[in-house]
Amino acid sequence: MEAKKIRSTFIEFFQSKQHQYVPSSPIVVKNDPTLMFTNAGMNQFKDAFLGNEIAKYSRVANSQKCLRVSGKHNDLEEVGVDTYHHTMFEMLGNWSFGDYFKKEAIEWAWELLTEVYQLPKDRLYVSVFQGDEGDKLEKDVEAAELWSKIVPEDRIILGSKKDNFWEMGDTGPCGPCSEIHVDLRSEAEIAKVPGRDLVNNDHPQVIEIWNLVFMQFNRLADGSLKELPAKHVDTGMGFERLVRAIQFKSSNYDTDLFTPFLDAIAKKSGKTYGLEEQTDIAFRVIVDHIRAISFTIADGQIPSNNKAGYVIRRILRRAVRYGYTFLGLQQPFLFELAPLIATYFGDIFPEVRQQQEFIAKVIMEEEASFLRTLDHGLKMLESIKSELNSKNEKVITGKTAFELYDTFGFPLDLTSLIARENGFSVDEKGFAEEMEKQKTRSRAASEQETGDWVLVNEDTGVEFIGYDFTEAYSQIIKHRTITDKKGDRYQLVLDRTPFYAESGGQAGDTGWLISDSEKIRVIDTKKENDLIVHFVEKLPAHPEVRFSSEVDREKRQLTMNNHSATHLLQSALKEVLGDHIQQRGSLVNENLLRFDFSHFGKMSEDEIAKVEEIVNAKVRENIELQEQRNVPIEEAKKMGATALFGEKYGDFVRVITFQKDFSVELCGGTHVPFTSQIGLFKITSEGSISAGVRRIEAITAKAAANYLREQENLVKEIQDLLKNPKDVKKAIESLLQERNDLRKEIETLHLEKSSGVKNELLKQFIEKDGINTLIAQVELPNAESLKKLAYELKNEVANAFVILAAKIEDKPQVAVILEDALVVSKGLNAGQIVRELAKEIQGGGGGQPFFATAGGKDLAGLEKVVAKAKEMFL
């Protein structure tokens, strides 16, 4: 049975059991501070488990795209090394929300596996929770008795809390689980060791394929368990493992989910999969990672240096370096797999087909960038090896390896590999210690403690009325305390609220909660999953009373202006640049609008002007807002409504229209009733933020008018300075020409002076421990001369380490420059050094590890800089 048929059979089976099929939610998580990525099929149903909403359907089934590369579920380093872990994978699941429980879940799982998929019963084992003294939980007798009616007792295994008690996180819904394992070994191996002895022992051929979780409890912040008011079922079956079991393969990668990709890499590299272990690992890493990369980009997450973007960049770079090192792929190659992703997954996940070209272009640019980094790192390693050879040493220190990783992005495994090939080794324990130090610093900076919710009034659900009202009478349902390095903060949930929660790029509302005795400032409003949470400066003294909830109307109004202008902007961009334009992110608040969109070229001034012209024309037309709520999603699609990739939409959506043949979008934000309220639209900047993504920033209404007024005043001031010439442009051009001529003369004089200074300094280098050091005080005409002199000295002297204390236009400056290799081999860092020396001139500065500068206030301190530097380094 082919993989596509296996997937559709699962869905059809549970549809026959009255389950509603629900499409996969995006792999990139929004409105959930506890997750970066969807890491389990149940993520999109968290609110139903938490009791924040009533489930739309009591029975659900789907195939959810998941990513496990961070936090509690982190399989990244195992991916490729074994044959059954993955970064991106599909999780087949069936759910019951207060409907059926253990009996049906167990019986249907067995029916599907053995009667529909026809897996051999004598190859299957099941596990049940054995209980836990710490949590005062008994054995799951109910599950054990149900299984005993289906399978022999010797195929039922008792599991510990680690293996058979599933938890969403440190807090939240949880419960005992029952796993189903399959033994895929040969008959000869089975005869030697029974499968039950290998369950949960990391045997590559005895693997878990399905986990049936019975949600019975809620884990509180103090660690205690509380019974849930309704019991739920949450199951998860790894699709890749299921396909492997049904196709009876020894590896997930031998199934038709991966073989087309392996064949493509074999053709590209000229290598054959299945001949050599290290090469095979590289094949598996690449064909696994291309799925994770493609799906996350399709859902709106571009590789970057921050948070989720950094995780994707790290996955991409891991794939590139395996191809580079073991398959000889030293040019971009991953992007060529994007069409295969579209072919094999486009039916169930249409977003990868719709964005195939964009995905490929982003990947290609990321690959090219990292290959340049690899090349630089290899040159650094050559310098390190030369340094070690000169000392007759054979170990690259952990600190050196970590600095290569941290400063230049060079991975440890590649450093270790190259070291071994050249007769060296790496102190990996020392590297791990340096990495742990960094993690400790990071944890300390982000550590947060979240208290349990304190119930104040009966929880009958939350009603949002902010589309129609900016005031309401509300009662607090519950509150909790959040503690981090900034101290205590407080969160409230109201029974009905006019406050818009940050979502879809629009900033959350601020305002006040007012009772007869106090006025509480609401400083922000956010969503946690689908729960509207209000952030306040202090807890009310009497939280049980009724409050008047009042939104800051001025801020709301300015935000609406910018949000509606964003809709007009997107349509104008499509009209000017083409239909390929897709939103890739946005920010809308009271001050500005920011719109990120897919486009691979810089916009010309004419294109920017044309977009502005279109938007302002629509503003002047005074187009009336057409807002339609609870529109069936299929009907909205027929209307041509623009949807955002990576956004999860329900069965019913809100459609915002400003002229049906111009701007029709799915949107949950707040908007102006007429476009004339926007007043004026002005683009203030346009530029690139990552591969294939441009960003426009713009302002509207009063901010735009003020901006134009400032520009007009600036022109008038320039005219006054130029004595009101008839042709201002010609007058400025004449001044510029005169300035350029004078600058060339000055530069010639500076060069003559700097050349004389450089020749004198070249005589003053002192050699110590293989480093040529120069510490000197100089007088130069400008900062550029100082930088130029520093680089020339470095380029003319081997292993140079230069510290210059300079008097420039009667102000003190310090420059530190050193050979790149000394950063790693000697642990020197120009930025750290210059900051220490700058204290002597009452200043500060910084820069890169190999070049940094600082300025200060105390000119007399330059002599102290020289003295201190000599004391430190000579």
For 754-818, the DSSP string reads HHHHHHHHHTT-EEETTEEEEEEEEEESSHHHHHHHHHHHHHHSTTEEEEEEEEETTEEEEEEEE
Max distance between CA atoms of the chain, in angstroms, equals 101
**Distance from C-alpha of 831 to C-alpha of 851, rounded to nearest angstrom:** 7
Q: Check pLDDT > 60 for residue 70.
A: no
pLDDT of 325 reads 85
Mean pLDDT of 174-198: 94
Q: Count the residues in the chain.
A: 874
Q: Check pLDDT > 80 for residue 34.
A: no
Mean pLDDT of 62-83: 76
Burial class of residue 192 in the structure, from the number of CB atoms within 10 Å of its CB (0-12 exposed, 13-18 middle, 19+ buried): exposed
Q: The tokens 């272990």 sit on which residue?
A: 277
Least confident of 300-304, 471-475, 679-683, 810-814: 300-304
Strands 693-700 and 681-690: antiparallel
- Whole-angstrom CA distances from 810 to 756, 802, 856 are 20, 22, 11
Coil, strand, or helix at residue 538? coil
* Phi, psi for residue 644 in degrees, rounded to 5: -95, 125
Please say whether the beta carbons of 570 and 597 come within 8 A: yes
Q: The tokens 């220490």 sit on which residue?
A: 836
Please say whether the beta carbons of 370 and 318 come within 8 A: no
pLDDT in tens, 187-198: 999 999 999 999
Q: Comparing 310 with 464, which gets the higher pLDDT?
A: 464
pLDDT of 751 reads 65
All residues at 6 or more sequence positions from 306 whose CB lies less than 8 Å from its CB, including other chains = none
pLDDT in tens, 278-296: 899 999 999 999 999 999 9
pLDDT of 471 reads 96
- 344-355 burial, b at 16+ Cβ within 10 Å, e below that, comes to bbeebbebbbeb
Mean pLDDT of 236-254: 94
pLDDT of 830 reads 93
* Phi, psi for residue 592 in degrees, rounded to 5: -160, 175
Mean pLDDT of 90-95: 94
pLDDT of 796 reads 92
- Whole-angstrom CA distances from 391 to 384, 456, 609, 874 are 11, 71, 63, 20
Coil, strand, or helix at residue 247? coil
Strands 124-129 and 156-159: parallel
Please say whether the beta carbons of 274 and 283 come within 8 A: no
* Phi, psi for residue 871 in degrees, rounded to 5: -65, -35
What is the average pLDDT score of the chain? Answer: 90
pLDDT of 131 reads 94
Mean pLDDT of 346-359: 92
Please say whether the beta carbons of 35 and 276 come within 8 A: no
Mean pLDDT of 138-151: 96
**What is the sign, positive or negative, of the torsion defined by CA atoms of 320, 321, 323, 329?**
positive
Task: Give the H/E segment covering residue 566.
Answer: helix 553-577
**Distance from C-alpha of 719 to C-alpha of 728, rounded to nearest angstrom:** 7
**Distance from chain centroid for Cα 35:** 10
Q: Check pLDDT > 60 for residue 577.
A: yes
Task: Tell me the whole-structure pTM to 2 decimals.
Answer: 0.73
pLDDT of 501 reads 96
Mean pLDDT of 136-150: 95
pLDDT of 71 reads 47
Strands 165-167 and 59-67: unpaired
pLDDT of 606 reads 96
Q: Check pLDDT > 90 for residue 64.
A: yes
**Distance from C-alpha of 235 to C-alpha of 215, rounded to nearest angstrom:** 10
Mean pLDDT of 502-528: 94
For the packed helices 277-298 and 307-326, what is the interaxial angle rounded to 10 degrees? Answer: 150
Q: Residue 465: which pLDDT band, with cuts at 50, 70 and 90?
A: very high
Tokens of 716: 């008038």
Identify any residues that bridge with 128 across adjacent strands, giving them in sequence order. Answer: 158
All residues at 6 or more sequence positions from 372 whose CB lies less than 8 Å from its CB, including other chains = none
Q: The tokens 């294939």 sit on which residue?
A: 692
For the chain, percent of residues with pLDDT exceeding 70? 97
Q: Check pLDDT > 70 for residue 444.
A: no
Mean pLDDT of 861-868: 94
Coil, strand, or helix at residue 154? helix
All residues at 6 or more sequence positions from 120 whose CB lies less than 8 Å from its CB, including other chains = 114
pLDDT in tens, 355-369: 999 999 999 999 998
CA 785-789-793 angle, 5° bins? 175
Q: Residue 711: which pLDDT band, with cuts at 50, 70 and 90?
A: very high
Mean pLDDT of 396-423: 81
Helix spans in 355-397 (H): 356-391
Least confident of 41-45, 345-349, 449-453, 833-837: 41-45
Q: Residue 639: which pLDDT band, with cuts at 50, 70 and 90?
A: very high
Q: Residue 825: which pLDDT band, with cuts at 50, 70 and 90?
A: confident
Burial class of residue 685 in the structure, from the number of CB atoms within 10 Å of its CB (0-12 exposed, 13-18 middle, 19+ buried): exposed
pLDDT of 750 reads 67
pLDDT of 429 reads 92
Q: Residue 445: which pLDDT band, with cuts at 50, 70 and 90?
A: low
Please say whether the beta carbons of 510 and 525 come within 8 A: yes
**Distance from C-alpha of 302 to C-alpha of 363, rounded to nearest angstrom:** 9
pLDDT of 556 reads 97
**Distance from C-alpha of 102 to C-alpha of 176, rounded to nearest angstrom:** 10
pLDDT in tens, 717-769: 999 998 888 888 899 999 999 899 888 887 777 666 667 788 889 999 999 88
Q: Comparing 552 with 394, which gets the higher pLDDT?
A: 552
Please say whether the beta carbons of 183 and 198 come within 8 A: yes
Please say whether the beta carbons of 477 and 457 come within 8 A: yes
**Distance from chain centroid for Cα 257:** 26
Task: Give the H/E segment covering residue 70.
Answer: strand 69-70
